[in-house]
Amino acid sequence: MGKRASNQAAASPKRSRRTKVDPVLVSIGDVVKQSEHLPERVRAMLVDMLPFSLGIPSDERHEFQTWVVDAVEQTMSTKKSKLEAAAAAASADLEKLKASGAVLDSTSQEAERSHEAQIETERSAEVALAAASEATSAATKGLSTARAEQKTGDAKLASSQEEKSELESALKEHLEAPMQEGSGPNYKSLKHSLGHLDMDDALRGALPSSCAKAKDDRGSFDEVVLQEFAKAFNTKITSLTAFVATDTIASGERAAAVTAAEKDLEVKTEAQRQCAEALEAAKKELSDKAEALKQARAAVVEYDPKLGALAGHVDDSNETVADFESGPLSNFMTYKSRVAVSAVAATSGA
């Protein structure tokens, strides 16, 4: 055994010189150098020891040399696991991307439908706002008309009430009172009321003369003139009284119409406001859906290049594993298990 060790020692310098330039050991050393899970000093030591351990036939290795080979084997195994894990992850990503292809198409189609539907929603909102605006305009005009009718009607009612009061006062004070005292009506004070009365023109023309006579001086014609004069007063007052009574009710109706028109305008204005808000919301939603459709279409366009790139990455990862297995790992296993030529020859001779 001592002789064998001596022979090995004698042979070591030659093997050392040979293994230093052995490309197989260099490729295995490169793997060790890249093994970041090992401390840098350990990697350096293993690389330095490769020619003096893995470069030595398995049946001539000492215990320390065997330890170095085992350590390198573990490093090679770790490297293979990492490469296989990377290849498996790439394959998983590829399958996931393939599965997402159908989802992308479905998402794009759904985004298209949703966008088209939102366009119709916006159009409907525009139509609704136009109708609401028209209704508000009509309600505004309705309120304006109701207020104008109220103003005109109430002014006429007030005028009729004032006219009725003036005629009643004039009749009592300037016609009935003087005649009760035997005098003639105060034509000068009654003259301004004649325009409101309906009398025969001939009788109207005789009024100044008949009014100027006292009771004892009047003739039958004068009595007829004054009776018709009083009758005209009473007829007009009765007519005004009936109108005031009727129009007082109408005034309440006009006020109610104004109140209803105001409420209608308030309702229509609120509806218009809500329609305007709905249109703004529809426009915002349409903008969001347009952006979603844009992104969905972009994703579909980008899918094929991504698929090709990832498929290439999977191929590269698998090729890297294959190259490692057929290269450094295969070479390592060959060097690990080889034996001395003398032993092989002895086995062959036996």
Q: What is the model's pLDDT at position 342?
A: 58
Q: Is the predicted pLDDT of residue 8 greater than 50, yes or no?
A: no
Q: What is the model's pLDDT at position 6?
A: 40
Annotated domain spans of the chain: 2-106+314-349, 117-301
What is the residue type of 24?
V
Q: How confident is the model at residue 174 (pLDDT cuts 50, 70, 90)?
A: very high
Please report which residue ranges of 171-219 form alpha helices under DSSP H.
177-180, 187-190, 201-211
Q: Is the predicted pLDDT of residue 200 greater than 80, yes or no?
A: yes
What is the residue type of 268?
K
What is the residue type of 324?
F
Q: Taken in order 258, 259, 261, 265, is the CA torsion positive or negative?
A: positive
- Average pLDDT over the chain reads 88
Please enumerate in sequence order all residues whose Cβ is within 8 A of that of 88, keeping only pairs 6 or more positions apart, or say none: none
Q: Is the predicted pLDDT of residue 26 greater than 70, yes or no?
A: yes
pLDDT digits (tens, 9 = 90+) for 312-328: 999 999 999 999 899 99
Segment 138-152 shows an average pLDDT of 96
d(CA 288, CA 300): 18
Q: How confident is the model at residue 21 (pLDDT cuts 50, 70, 90)?
A: low
Q: How confident is the model at residue 7 (pLDDT cuts 50, 70, 90)?
A: very low
pTM: 0.58
What is the residue type of 332?
F
Segment 162-169 shows an average pLDDT of 93
CA-based nearest residue to 207, from 183, 182, 190 = 190
| Alpha-carbon dihedral angle through residues 29, 34, 37, 40, given to the nearest 10 degrees | 70
CA-based nearest residue to 338, from 4, 24, 10, 30 = 24
Q: What is the model's pLDDT at position 101?
A: 84
Q: What is the model's pLDDT at position 87?
A: 93
Please enumerate in sequence order all residues whose Cβ is within 8 A of that of 138, keeping only pairs 6 or more positions apart, or say none: 268
Residues 79, 35: contact at Cβ < 8 Å? yes
Residue 21's SS3 state is coil
d(CA 303, CA 295): 12
Q: What is the model's pLDDT at position 347?
A: 52
Q: What is the model's pLDDT at position 341?
A: 73
Q: What is the model's pLDDT at position 10?
A: 40
Q: Taken in order 58, 63, 69, 70, is the CA torsion positive or negative?
A: positive
pLDDT digits (tens, 9 = 90+) for 82-102: 999 999 999 999 888 888 888
Q: Is the predicted pLDDT of residue 1 greater than 80, yes or no?
A: no
Q: What is the model's pLDDT at position 11?
A: 43
Segment 262-283 shows an average pLDDT of 96
Q: Is the predicted pLDDT of residue 9 greater than 80, yes or no?
A: no
| Alpha-carbon dihedral angle through residues 257, 263, 268, 271, given to the nearest 10 degrees | -160
E strands along the chain, which residues? none
Q: Is the predicted pLDDT of residue 4 greater than 80, yes or no?
A: no
Segment 59-76 shows an average pLDDT of 92
d(CA 48, CA 45): 5
Q: What is the model's pLDDT at position 3?
A: 38
Residues 114, 292: contact at Cβ < 8 Å? yes
* Percentage of the chain exceeding pLDDT 90: 67
- The rounded radius of gyration (Å) of the Cα atoms in the chain is 60
Q: What is the model's pLDDT at position 345?
A: 53
Q: What is the model's pLDDT at position 103?
A: 86
Q: What is the model's pLDDT at position 22?
A: 86
